Amino acid sequence: MEACSRNLSPTCGDMTTILSIDGGGVRGIIPATILQFLEEKLQELDGPDVRLADYFDVIAGTSTGGLVTGMLTAPNAENRPLFAAKDITHFYLEHCPSIFPAKKGFLGWLRSLYAFIRGPKYFGDYLHSLVHKMVGNIRLHQLLTNVVIPTYDIHLEQPVIFSTFEAQQNILKDAYLSDICIATSAAPTYLPAYYFKTKDSLGNTREFNLIDGGVAANNPTLLAINEVAKESLKPDQQWVCPSKAKDHSKFLVLSIGTGYKTTRYRAIDAAKWGLLSWLSKNGRTPILDTFMQSSSDMVDIHASVIFQAHNSEQNYLRIQENGLTGDASSVDISTKDNLENLVKIGNNLLDKFVSRVNLETGEFEEVMKEGTNKNALIRFAKKLSEEKKSRLSSSTPSGDMATNHVHNF
């Protein structure tokens, strides 16, 4: 496949294309199944070797979504994506039981409870070792398309957004992908906070004290849009046309959630809860569930308003499972049965009708006239393919394009 400059590619076509993946622990299997279907449709259109990173100008991911983002965009020895979308589900099935090991029996439960009170539920050693082994020598600027991955710095008390846009201009933000993936996945109470530092050629250093990006932006869709808009404001930018960055009808956005639980609490009961109850109730962590779920939904509502206001609601596709129960709603139950059930949930989600927030009622409703999520993804794949072909046809062989990064358009 011919390669042209990533930095100039959005100006070659009509749309800025964005993929966004929520956080959610083991529930990352759900977006993995959605992405596998989309990549298969793109391969039917453009050949078996194409990958998602060939089509999206920006891929954003939080927590487990940040890990998926890294897997989709990290280069292998041939400078192609390290993972195909179909590989990601197998990755979760193979490694989640070791990332989130189950404590067996009553004694195991007591040890787990003691560890939960004294420190994080899991040590994180396996995850850290695995991620370092996979992408340990790859820095942010080397990724195959632009990425946006949020974290939260508990020392600075502010979000830290890692993006290839910044990495190109600030070497202290050009961190190793492995450090970024571990940091964005460091969910409080589940995995330990993560420290690392970067260094530039002059000896300047920057320290990072990070936890899960989900506490800031569990749904990173708007972060991705904002990064494109910020890039358009730079006087020397060569990547995106400013007029397109301001016109949301020129965005094509796929946002995939990891599902949310249907466990409901009553205020009359929660009014009696103290710190321990908010941290652990019936095997759940209500305070984290509430923050992350509400954060994701608020971003979806905001994005829906933007796109509907521009009469371009079909350019924004949000796919989310809204009925998880039992073990499937957990972020860390990694039994074989639960992981395989999550695969089924992802596949079943493809056959559900497209849903969108009703701006008058605030409720999420099925939009049956748009068909199923599978139908919508097939349409989305066609748009992505057309955009890619449009850019290829408008590319010039004269070599006068920007040269910072290669993107496979």
Q: Measured between alpha carbons, how far is residue 216 from residues 66, 106, 151, 223, 391 in Å?
A: 13, 36, 7, 10, 35
User: Going by DSSP bridges, is the β-strand pair 158-163/146-153 parallel, antiparallel, or unpaired?
Assistant: antiparallel
Print the SS3 string covering 100-139: CCCCCHHHHHHHHHHHHHHCCCCCCHHHHHHHHHHHCCCE
Q: Which residues contact 383 (CB under 8 A, 6 or more apart)?
A: 15, 252
Rg (CA), the chain: 21
Is 49 known to be catalytic?
A: no
**Is the distance from CB of 22 to CB of 218 less than 8 angstroms?**
yes
**Is the distance from CB of 247 to CB of 237 less than 8 angstroms?**
no
Q: What whole-number distance in Å separates Cα of residue 120 and Cα of residue 188?
A: 7
Catalytic one of 212, 289, 297, 300: 212
Question: Which of 122, 93, 81 is closest to 30 using CA atoms?
Answer: 93
DSSP letter assigned to residue 240: S
CA triplet 319, 322, 328: central angle to 5 degrees? Answer: 105
Q: Which residue numbers are catalytic? A: 63, 212
